[in-house]
Amino acid sequence: MSAQPGDPAAHGPAAILECRICWAVYDPAEGDAFRQVLPGTPFSALPDDWTCPNCDAPRASFLLRADPDADALAARIATRAAALEADFREIWHAKMRDVPLCNKALHVEAVGFVAHEGRALGVLVAPWCMNLVMLPAEGEDWSTLTPGTKEEIVFPSGIYEFLHNVRPMVGGYKACSLFSPMGDFPSQLQVVEVARAVMTELFRPENRDETDRAAEIRAARVAELAPPAPAPQPSRRAVISGGLAAGAPGE
C-alpha cells in the first residue's frame, strides 16, 4: 500500500503508520513502551502531544503504512462489485442481447467502486445504460426495498435521485440513471472514462449550487472527455431500464 499523510480520522484502529522523518513504525498491536502507550491503542487515540519515539517528529509527520481494516473493506467492495457485474451479465445474456437499443460495442462493467459512508458506491456500465449504484454496508439488509421507490441522496456536488431495486445475486441496491440508451458511445474505453469522471465530480463541492446540477456536471465532463463525435445527453429522470427498476424494459 502506498503511504499517505497520516490523518487519524481516515484510518481504522489497526492501522500501522510510519514516521516520514526517520521511518520509525507505530503499530497499535505493540503500542509505545517509551511513551507508556499500552498495546492495542489506535494511532487516532494517541495524545495530541505524542511524538515519534525515535526522532520526536509530531503525529502529523506519520504516513499510513498499512490498514488491515481498509484492506478488508476494499475486498468486500470488490466482491460486491463483482456480484453486481455477474448479475447484469445475466440480464444481458438472458434478456437484453437482442434488444435494439443496446450498444453491442459495450459490455457490462463495474467502474470506480469505493467506500462511501461504509457502503459500496460506483458506476455500473451496461450496453443499455450507465448508472450510479449504491450497495448496502456490511450488516445492512436491503432485501426488503420496494423496486421503483425513489430516494434522494445528498453528495458534495448535489442531490441525486435514486431508484430502489432488488436482484437475485446482488440483493437490494439503489441506482441513479446517468445515461440511457448508450448508442452514441463509440467504445467501452470512452464509457469507462466518463464513468470515472462522474465518480470524481460527484465529490466536488464546487459543483453544487442551489439546484440539482447532476445533469450539468455529467454533460460538462462528457464534453471534456469525448472525441469529436457528439456525446450522448444524460436522461435525469428517465426510469432506469434493463432490469434496474421494476417494470422497466429487460425485467
Domains of the chain: 8-66 (2.20.28.10), 70-225 (3.30.1460.40)
Q: What distance lies between CA 47 and its chain's CA centroid?
A: 33
Average pLDDT over residues 60-68: 86
Q: Please give the biggest Cα pair distance in the chain.
A: 70
Sign of the CA dihedral running 195, 201, 202, 203: positive
Task: Tell me the pLDDT tens digit for each residue of 153-178.
Answer: 999 899 999 999 999 889 999 999 99
22-30 long-range contacts, CB within 8 A, separation 24+: 22/52, 22/54, 22/55, 22/57, 24/52, 24/53, 24/54, 24/55, 25/65, 26/62
User: In this predicted model, which residue has the larger pLDDT, 54 or 244?
Assistant: 54
Question: In terms of DSSP bridges, do strands 25-26 and 16-19 run parallel, antiparallel, or are they unpaired?
Answer: antiparallel
31-40, 211-220, 228-237: which range is least confident on average?
A: 228-237
Residue 31: its pLDDT value, please? 94
Average model confidence (pLDDT) for the chain?
Answer: 82
Residue 250: CB atoms within 10 A of its CB come to 20
CA distance 36 to 23: 20
Residue 76: its pLDDT value, please? 87
Residue 229: its pLDDT value, please? 54
Task: Tell me the pLDDT tens digit for each residue of 18-37.
Answer: 999 999 999 999 999 988 99
Residue 110: CB atoms within 10 A of its CB come to 23
Residue 171: its pLDDT value, please? 93
CA distance 175 to 55: 50
User: In this predicted model, which residue has the larger pLDDT, 246 or 8?
Assistant: 8
Which grid cell is 73? 473493506
Average pLDDT over residues 95-106: 94
User: In this predicted model, which residue has the larger pLDDT, 102 or 248?
Assistant: 102
Residue 167: its pLDDT value, please? 93
Residue 122: its pLDDT value, please? 96
Check: pTM over 0.75? Answer yes or no. Answer: no
62-71, 186-195, 231-240: which range is least confident on average?
A: 231-240
Residue 245: its pLDDT value, please? 32
